[in-house]
Structure 1
Amino acid sequence: MRTYILSILFSLSCSLVWSKEYNASFFGIKSDGVTLNTNSIQTGIDYIHKEGGGVLVFNVGRYLTGSIELKSNVAIQLKEGAVLVGSLNPYDYNMEGPCYSMIRAISQKNIAIYGKGVIDAQGRQVSYNIIDQVHKGFIKDPLENDRPRRPRGIHFKQCQGITIEGITLKNTCDWTQEYEECDSLWVRGITVDNKAYWNNDGIDIVDCRNVLIENSFFDASDDAVCLKSHKAEVACRNVVIRNCTMRSSANGIKLGTMTVGGYENIRIINNKVYDTYRSALTIATPDGGYVRNIVVDSLQAYNTGNAIFLRIGNRTHSDKVGSMDSVLISNLYVEIPEGKPDAGYEYEGPIEHMPRNISPASIIGLKGHPITHVTLKNVVINHPGAGKPEIAKVGITPEELDKVPELADSYPEFSCFKELPAWGLYLRHVEGIALENVTFIARKRDYRPAIVLDDAHHVNMSKMKIQEPGKKKQQIHVYQSTNINK
């Protein structure tokens, strides 16, 4: 409700600021797709800003540009048929400072990009052109892996009052859009088609508060919708993600990886994930940050490599280890294929440790730092089963379970463990877990039990259903755990 009230107030305040319209041609901006308009577009934005605010309107045409900077009280409207096209020349982008991008804003208020038009960054070719300059020695690549620093599509930092609505964003070099330490951000009805290169996240929310992402579509070669936290003194707070559809060659919805501050009061409601290589939902805190008060409701995932992955790690080997508490996941349905879920897409997820047995959903803390108070309610996980000890065997004897590595400093993806001893759900270093009306379905016989609990305490299971073909076997294995009610 607080988000809705803020949205209404923000819309009312901006309707007056943005009431005056300026046609792009007024500033000599050309729509021929050939003329470089960077200076003309920036002149228009600066002029409207100085005049107290308004809308820079782009009608039908292709508008070529490098880096531009949005200013307070200025909106860009891309009408249907208008395409803002990224320059292919890497040196047309501002490589200096924290916001290396096609469209950026730093410490601005009341800004917007909206309409039925398109932002096409031409990122695949721009990336190749940057790599060409790296190989020739003109641009430094500290990573030396042909994934150099590249311009993002949109990067807004420390801004307040942002609307991104209706537009299509496609083919950026790097993350499609990043909003960092912003307040009052509304993303509505947008389409993201970003499979141009590696690391093409659909949207990244970094240490922002009062965020609404709704009714949008994301197709990305990296995480589709991703929350991050880069600073200990801030966090992602009061975020709603609802009514969205997403596909990814990484994760569908991810809280992490970088988690220094934390995540609090996050609502993820009525979303769909499909053809996704990694987890439909990942919540990770490997860098000392906190996670609390997370609600995920009505998430449907089809043809995704993993259902859910909740993880505490410690990549920095610090005394400050992250925490995760109060997570509710309800009305979840996931179908996991036996094969690679993103096969055939241009940038597929990596083939790691193949062949391997298909991983279970997992909630894994660290020894002495358990994940606490997680509820799974009204959940169906439809798993292929088919796990074979001939591929790789992790058994359930004490010796075998003790050999499952902690991997505190590993990159937090479900695949980092290679093999786990359950096919349905693996719980390790957890406390206060509730499984209510949870169904696990294995389509083929699996050598592993459905559920393994290791260092799990105060776990309540009610109305549990486990379906697996073949002879009945013990489906729940408990090890080093207490107060398990099943």
Structure 2
Amino acid sequence: MKKLLIAICLFVIGFTAKSQDYVITQLGVSADSTKLNTQAIQKVIDKAHGSGGGTIVIPKGVFLTGALFFKPNTKLRLLEGAVLKGSDNISDYPLIPSRMEGRSLLYYAALINAYYVDSFSITGPGMINGNGNRFWSTFWAYRDSMRKIGKEATNLEIHRPRLLFIWGCNQVHLQNVKLRNSGFWTTHLYQCQNVLIENCDIRSPYRPVPAPSTDGIDIDVCKKVIVRNCYISVNDDAVCIKGGKGPDAHKRSENGVVEDILVENCTFGEAHGTLTIGSESIHARNITLRNCKVENNCPILRLKMRPDTYQTYENITIDNVSGKCGSIINLNPWKQFFNMGGSSEKPYATVRNITISNIKVECKNFGDIEGNPSDSVYNIVFKDINATSEAPILKNKYQDIKAENVIVNGMPLVIK
């Protein structure tokens, strides 16, 4: 026992030594909110890494920066009143190996980047503000110019940075931090395991300038992720399950399953989907959303069925959700940027084992379950639901759909 106590003490001493705080304003970072501090803050991160690790502390104030790269054994803490504000010049975000929209490619760094940084954490109560208005305005202007000449603009043609990109990290913790106004996706996790996101406030606007494709949390080829006690309101999907797209996506090593995801005790404001699987997903399983409130006009569960990608969506549970929404479920073809790439494959999807229960909502329509012609859908159960709806019918073209104690506008649910 004595040896065990000594070992624990030595571990705590060692951990404490490696947990030194590096307050940026004490290490050469200007408090002038108009001065670009990228190099100075990066020097603090590098110093902490070189000294064995530590926490980069952002004190009260506004600190303008481009892309920052966290190293092994470094963390980030933002104190009350602290704001890391992103530059709105894309040249402050280098083009590097990355991951976007289900593909591995060269893309612009995020504001905060952590590649293979185990035990990485970002804690509040301060804010990371992407300052995305210039990127959003440029995106909409470009899209409108393409439409005038009869062309479609993709999301990648206007270069925009994400707010957070965390790649290949285990034991990630995001806590009590405000994430605002990202130029592109807000929080992108790729190939991570054992992630906890709790008590975070994630927002981007619908007005006056909509913030396009600012997904709240994108979970991409990850396992064991918990999102808890968060508020999310963004101009795209709130929590989105990714993993790859294209007719050969299931064969490519950079893609893969997303599994064991829990979203609980969260509140969802405006969004395109509360929990969305797709549009870049090849295999999602063991996904649970429970004990949540919705305050929006979008689906609670949205399944995007790509006809150019093999997909399996299975073991999905939605339980104890209340509030106002657009619909309870939306399972429909998703053909945005459809591309078979010359392949002769004939992709199809399998959706099975979905349970939606204990729902009390006001919605515009109950839902749709209408995938692509070759998709298979099995064992979807609606149970103990009380809803009011302008369109009280579940549109459905599959047989294995069950409704148990589902009341809409005071009457049993009609499935057509």
Q: Same fold (TM over 0.5)?
A: yes
| Separation in structure 2 between the aligned mates of residue 313 and residue 252 of structure 1, nearest angstrom | 17
| Separation in structure 2 between the aligned mates of residue 63 and residue 84 of structure 1, nearest angstrom | 5
Alignment of 1:142-161 (within 5 A): 143=153, 148-161=158-171
Give the aligned partner of residue 266 of structure 1. 287
Q: 1:265 to 1:132 in 2, by over 3 A?
A: closer
Alignment of 1:266-415 (within 5 A): 266-276=287-297, 278-286=298-306, 287-302=309-324, 304-311=325-332, 316=340, 318-337=345-364, 359-367=365-373, 369-385=375-391
Q: Which amino acid aligns with 1:466?
A: P
SS of equivalent residue, structure 2 residue 213: coil
Q: CA deviation at 1:321?
A: 1.1
Q: 1:365 to 1:17 in 2, by over 3 A?
A: farther
Q: CA deviation at 1:243?
A: 0.6
Give the aligned partner of residue 114 of structure 2. 105
| Separation in structure 2 between the aligned mates of residue 145 and residue 211 of structure 1, nearest angstrom | 26
Give the aligned partner of residue 39 of structure 2. 39
Give the aligned partner of residue 211 of structure 1. 225
Give the aligned partner of residue 125 of structure 1. 134
Aligned 8 A contact 2:349 2:374 in 1? no
Match of 2:409 among 427, 437, 441: 441
In structure 1, list runs of 5 or more residues that go unmatched: 1-11, 136-140, 338-358, 386-422, 443-464, 468-474, 478-486
Q: CA deviation at 1:215?
A: 0.3
Q: CA deviation at 1:212?
A: 0.6
Match of 1:238 among 260, 265, 268: 260
| Separation in structure 1 between the aligned mates of residue 367 and residue 95 of structure 2, nearest angstrom | 41
| Separation in structure 2 between the aligned mates of residue 247 and residue 313 of structure 1, nearest angstrom | 23
Once superposed, what is the RMSD of the aligned Cα atoms? 2.9
Aligned 8 A contact 1:242 1:269 in 2? yes
| Separation in structure 2 between the aligned mates of residue 186 and residue 123 of structure 1, nearest angstrom | 26
Note the alpha carbon deviations across 1:38-96, whole angstroms, 9 max, x for none: 01111111111122211111111111100111111111110001110111322112233
Aligned 8 A contact 2:25 2:59 in 1? no
Match of 1:221 among 235, 249, 252: 235
Q: Which amino acid aligns with 2:116?
A: S
Deviation larger for 319-328 or 281-290: 281-290
Q: 1:334 to 1:133 in 2, by over 3 A?
A: closer
Give the aligned partner of residue 192 of structure 1. 202
Give the aligned partner of residue 412 of structure 2. 466
Alignment of 1:16-31 (within 5 A): 16=16, 19-31=19-31
Note the alpha carbon deviations across 1:407-443, whole angstroms, 9 max, x for none: xxxxxxxxxxxxxxxx411221342x2211111218x
SS of equivalent residue, structure 2 residue 26: helix
Q: Which amino acid aligns with 2:201?
A: T
Aligned 8 A contact 2:303 2:332 in 1? yes
SS of equivalent residue, structure 1 residue 252: strand
Note the alpha carbon deviations across 1:323-378, whole angstroms, 9 max, x for none: 111111111122124xxxxxxxxxxxxxxxxxxxxx54122244454210111111
Q: Which amino acid aligns with 2:226?
A: L
In structure 2, list runs of 5 or more residues that go unmatched: 1-11, 99-107, 145-150
Note the alpha carbon deviations across 1:193-233, whole angstroms, 9 max, x for none: 21252111111111111101000001111111111121525
SS of equivalent residue, structure 1 residue 125: helix
SS of equivalent residue, structure 1 residue 336: strand
Q: 1:189 to 1:15 in 2, by over 3 A?
A: farther
Q: CA deviation at 1:154?
A: 0.6
| TM-score, normalised by the number of residues in structure 1 | 0.70
Q: Which amino acid aligns with 1:271?
A: C
Q: CA deviation at 1:15?
A: 6.4
1:95 aligns with 2:95: yes
| Separation in structure 2 between the aligned mates of residue 142 and residue 77 of structure 1, nearest angstrom | 41
Give the aligned partner of residue 9 of structure 2. none
Q: Report percent identity of matched pairs.
A: 25
Q: Which amino acid aligns with 2:403?
A: L
SS of equivalent residue, structure 1 residue 229: coil
Q: Which amino acid aligns with 1:254?
A: T
SS of equivalent residue, structure 1 residue 290: strand
| Separation in structure 2 between the aligned mates of residue 227 and residue 41 of structure 1, nearest angstrom | 32
Deviation larger for 49-58 or 126-135: 126-135
Q: CA deviation at 1:476?
A: 6.0
Over alpha carbons, which structure has the higher Rg? 1
SS of equivalent residue, structure 2 residue 356: strand
Aligned 8 A contact 2:143 2:153 in 1? no
| TM-score, normalised by the number of residues in structure 2 | 0.81
Q: 1:368 to 1:222 in 2, by over 3 A?
A: closer
Note the alpha carbon deviations across 1:172-213, whole angstroms, 9 max, x for none: 111111111111111110001212521111111111111010
Q: CA deviation at 1:126?
A: 4.3
Q: CA deviation at 1:114?
A: 0.6
Number of residue pairs aligned between Structure 1 and Structure 2 = 370
Give the aligned partner of residue 184 of structure 2. 174
| Separation in structure 1 between the aligned mates of residue 114 and residue 398 of structure 2, nearest angstrom | 43
| Separation in structure 2 between the aligned mates of residue 29 and residue 240 of structure 1, nearest angstrom | 39
